[in-house]
Structures are given as structure tokens and as C-alpha cells.
Chains A and B, each alone.
Chain A
Amino acid sequence: MSAASWVLVGRVGPEAVDRVCARLRELTPEVGVVLGDPADGVHALALAGRVLSETPDRPVVVPLVCRDRNRTALVAEARGAEALGCRGLWLLTGSPGPAEAAAVYELDPAVLAGVLGQAGVGLELWASGRLTTPAERARAGVLTGVGVSRWIVPAGGEPPEPIPGLSLVRQGPGGDLVPLEVSP
């Protein structure tokens, strides 16, 4: 793993930025931070910039959400993460937003990984999902084949069987900073 341990930060609204950053400053620099899908919260790159400005050596993984972005926007965000000094990208499909907004899913994580490779983005690629059904496990195999190396498994249930080529990270209980437990 590229960090001693990891924490997952969920959606951060503007009112929570200072509190979350204060909590992160209490952690040693070796603890990596994975920023979750911001949805309608603070943009992930902005939050990553704040975290890295306060602790430049901290490994930071930012979400790259396919929802509502075409490939141009996704590549630009990935390059922005690289320029900030982020460690990795968490490729997410994303959930639909409010009903009055048209949902756009030009790419999905499997295609996005290939697009990022063609664009020369060299960050570590993360993905996530349950690994319970054969279809879910097959999806993980596909994503591994296109360069994903880290996988976040949601909390609850039995630890899944390992997937060759994937390092599994399991979500702990909730809260502002959710610990991510590296599977043996």
C-alpha cells in the first residue's frame, strides 16, 4: 500500500470544510486521505488543494465521478489532480442528481481508465463496489484489466474473496473520517 493507513472523507459541505481539515491535521502525514463523491458539496479538487496545502506529504486520492461530465471535463479534472500532487484517482460512476438536472454518463469507470491512460495521466487508479455477485466480481476483473489497482469495499458483510491484481480496502464504521482497513 502507498500509505500506512487510510481514511475516507465523505461529502463535505462548505460549512464543514474547516472542521474536517482540522481533524485531518491531527493525523500523521503518513495517513492517506481518500475524498469521496462530493455530490453537491465542495468540489474534490478544491478540498484536495486545501488538504495538500496544510500537509503537502499526505497521500490524497480524489474522486473522478463520471456523472455529469464528458470526457473533456474528466481528463481536465484528472490532470488537475495530478498537478496538485494527488496520489490517486477514485473512479466512480456516480448517482443521478436532482430530477430537474439531466444526467450525463458519457463514460463509465472502465472506459475512463483507458481514456486516462491515453491522456498520459499516471495516477494510481482506485475503484469500488460490492464483490458479492458474479457480475460484480467480473466488473472488478474488468477494471483490474484496465489499470485499477486499489478497491474500496463497502462496510458490512463478510470480507470478499480476493481478486487477483487488486488490493482491497474495506470501509469501517461511519463518521467524518471513515477508516479504511487494508485486507490481508
Chain B
Amino acid sequence: MVVTTPKPWDEIRFALGDGKRWIVMGCADCAAVCQTGGSSQVDELAERMEDEGLEVLARVDLPSPCDRRLTRRDLKRVVRELEAADGVVCLTCGGGAQAVAELVGKPVVAGLDAHFVGTVERVGVFHEQCALCGACVLNATGGICPVTGCPKGLRNGPCEEANAGACEAEPGLECVWERIWERLETLGRIGAFGTVRPPAPPVRRPRSTGRRTR
């Protein structure tokens, strides 16, 4: 799940510029779980904008804005409002905002900041547990990710500063590689600890598995 936080109102207001008529779109998926882009947050932002003298032509909850097929279908419901609007405010992650931008052909204001892929402990408490590194080592580390669990992201640990299970880079944190050792020992797979894991492939942007058109 993509974990997001709302942008400050001043930043959103600045991005709205001179536009008067807007559509506010939220995400019923990740942003709704984070309570940053669900229907309540869409309503709150719309009301704030109306208090500022702006006109909100439609409030839309998109099931998965990042799925262009679904978004293309759902935007047909507000095609007249889109024609009349100066732009769209998206309470979604950057993927969702860009998908909307490509489809509407109008200015899109991003209302959220996306931070990481996380798991949910409870509303408001999220844990980054996947770094999207493209070279997952969970099979060899007993299901514990060292890239997100280690402040240095080490794929071969522990580091030389580890102190009997305590992390030196993050005081109060248990060394993830000690946890990995204990987990592998419990699973009877301690032999996996001694493998040298190569670094993740370097990130070359833009990243896409899709076909390039030019």
C-alpha cells in the first residue's frame, strides 16, 4: 500500500493559481486507508476550496486512480464537469495523479505526498516493509526485508558497528540481521545466512515495463 500524507493547504492553494472551477478526485484504495484521499478528505478539501471562493464542480472517488482503464471509464461520468473545469485536484499518489493528468488534458494539482510502500498496523501507523528494489531477498532472509529493516539497507549484514544485536545507526533499534539470524535458525534454514547477496540492480529511470512509443 502506498502511504501518503496531505500537502499543506498553502502549497495546494499556490498550485491552484488563478483557476476558479475545479474537480476534486480521491482514491478509494491506498489513500482512503491512509485517510488522506478518501471520500471524507475529498469533502473536506472541497469545502475548504469553496470557503476560499472557488467552485468545486464535482467530487469524485476513484476506485484505483492508478489503473488507467478504470479511471478512463470513471471519468466518463463527469465529462461535462471536466469540460467546464479549470483543472483537477487529486488526492492520490503520484501514479494516480499522473494517470488522471494524461486522461483529462487539464492542469492537475497533486494534493498528497507519497512516502513509501507500507503495511498497516492501524490507521495512522504504517511500516515501510518493501523498498521496491526489484531484487527481493525475502526467500533467503526468512521473510524479513533487510533493505527496509536496516538503516543502511544492507543486503549482506550485519555491519561492523553492530553491537550484540543493537543497531548503531538507529539507537533503540534491534539489528535486523540479528532478527534474520534468529528467524532462519527457527526455520532450520541457517545455511541461507552465509550467502553473499549481490546488490540490487541500479535504478535507471524512467522505469517501465511498458512499450516505449518513441
Cβ of A75 under 8 Å from chain B: no
Interface pairs A-B: 4 shortest CB-CB? A129-B160, A93-B159, A135-B181, A110-B156
Residue A139 at the B interface, CB < 8 A? yes
CA distance A127 to B161 in the complex (A): 11
A3–B180 Cα distance when bound, in Å, is 38
The interface residues of chain A lying within 8 Å CB-to-CB of B156 are 108-111, 139, 142
Closest residue of chain B to A106 (Cβ to Cβ) is B199
A130 pairs with B169, CB closer than 8 A: no
Given the contacts A111-B198, A114-B196, A92 and B160 also touching, CB distance less than 8 Å? yes
Query: Which of A96, A114, A146 is within 8 Å of B152, CB to CB?
Result: A96
Contact with A along B142-168 (1 / 0, CB 8 A): 000000000111111111111111001
Question: Which of A103, A111, A129 is B159 in contact with, Cβ under 8 Å?
Answer: A129
Interface size for A (C-beta < 8 A) is 30
Q: Are A142 and B196 in contact (CB under 8 A)?
A: yes
Chain A residue contacts of B151, Cβ below 8 A: 96, 103
Q: Which of B154, B196, B198 touches A93 (beta carbons < 8 Å)?
A: B154
A47 an interface residue at 8 Å Cβ cutoff?
Answer: no
| Shortest distance between the CB of A75 and any CB in chain B (Å) | 14
CB pair B162 A136 closer than 8 Å: yes
Chain A CB within 8 A of B22 CB: no
- B193 & A135 in contact (Cβ 8 Å cutoff): yes
Q: Would you give the shortest CB distance from A146 to chain B, in whole angstroms?
A: 6
Residues of B with C-beta under 8 A to A128: 160
Give every chain A residue within 8 A of B154 (Cβ-Cβ): 93, 105, 108
B188 beta carbon closer than 8 Å to chain A: no
* Contact residues of B: prevailing secondary structure: loop
B166-182 toward A: CB 8 Å interface, digit per residue (1/0)?
00110000010110110
Q: Which residues of chain A are near B194, meaning CB under 8 Å?
A: 138, 141-142, 145
Q: CB-nearest residue of chain B relative to A152?
A: B160
Which of B154, B156, B162, B169 has the most C-beta atoms of chain A within 10 angstroms of its own C-beta? B156
Across the interface, name the chain A residue whose C-beta is closest to B152: A105
Q: Are B165 and A127 interface neighbours, CB within 8 A?
A: no
Q: Would B152 and A93 count as touching, CB distance under 8 A?
A: yes
Which chain A positions have C-beta within 8 A of B175? 135
Given A92-B160, A95-B168, A132-B164, A138 and B152 contact (CB-CB distance below 8 Å): no
Q: B residues 64-111 with Cβ under 8 Å of A? A: none
> Which residues in chain A, 106-145, are within 8 Å of chain B measured between CB atoms?
106-111, 114, 127-130, 132-136, 138-139, 141-142, 145
Instruction: Tell me if B158 and A136 are in contact (CB < 8 A).
Output: yes
A65 to B168, CA, bound (A): 16
| Chain A residues whose C-beta falls within 8 Å of the C-beta of B124 in the assembled complex | none
In the complex, what distance in Å separates the CA atom of A114 from the CA atom of B199?
Answer: 12
B202 at the interface (CB under 8 A from A): yes
CA of A106 to CA of B161, assembled, Å: 18
CB distance from B134 to the nearest CB of A (A): 14
List 18 contacting pairs A-B, 8 Å CB cutoff, sorted by A.
Answer: A67-B152, A95-B168, A96-B169, A103-B151, A105-B152, A105-B154, A107-B199, A108-B152, A108-B157, A109-B156, A130-B162, A130-B164, A133-B178, A135-B162, A138-B194, A139-B156, A139-B158, A142-B194
State A128–B156 Cα separation when bound (angstroms).
14
Interchain CA distance A133-B179 in the complex, whole Å: 12
Whether the pair B196, A111 counts as a contact (CB closer than 8 A) is: yes
Most buried by A among B155, B198, B199: B199
Interchain CB contact under 8 A, B196 and A146:
yes
- Taking CB atoms, residues of chain B closer than 8 Å to A105 are 152-154
Shortest Cβ distance from residue B16 to the other chain A in the assembled complex, whole angstroms: 31
